Amino acid sequence: MVHFNKFFVVLGLIFILSLLLFAGASLAKDQTTCPVMGGLINKSIYADYQGSRVYFCCPPCLREFKKDPDKYITKMKEQGLTLAKSPDQAS
């Protein structure tokens, strides 16, 4: 009986660990904040860059992004964001 209980405890621990490991690994986040200032995005203000669409909170952030787009793309990818595809790349 003791071995039977140990088996279920170990099985339960394996299940819990697998949930913790795989839950975060497959969850991609869509962009909801501006990569420049962190405000909520306005979907009418965007830039298409290397096949991806990046949204901004205001026109000044769009201008700032255009000065060094790779800096912001890298930052967004490090945050685990999934960038929307540009319409010409969406197919």
Q: Residue 88 has what pLDDT?
A: 79
Domain ranges of the chain: 29-89
What pLDDT is attached to residue 1? Answer: 59
pTM: 0.67
pLDDT per residue of the chain (91 residues) written in tens, 0 to 9: 566 677 777 766 676 656 555 555 445 789 999 999 999 999 999 999 999 999 999 999 999 999 999 999 999 999 999 899 998 765 5
∠9-22-18 over CA atoms, to 5°?
10
Helix (H, G, I), strand (E, B) or coil at 36: coil
56 near 38, Cβ under 8 Å? no
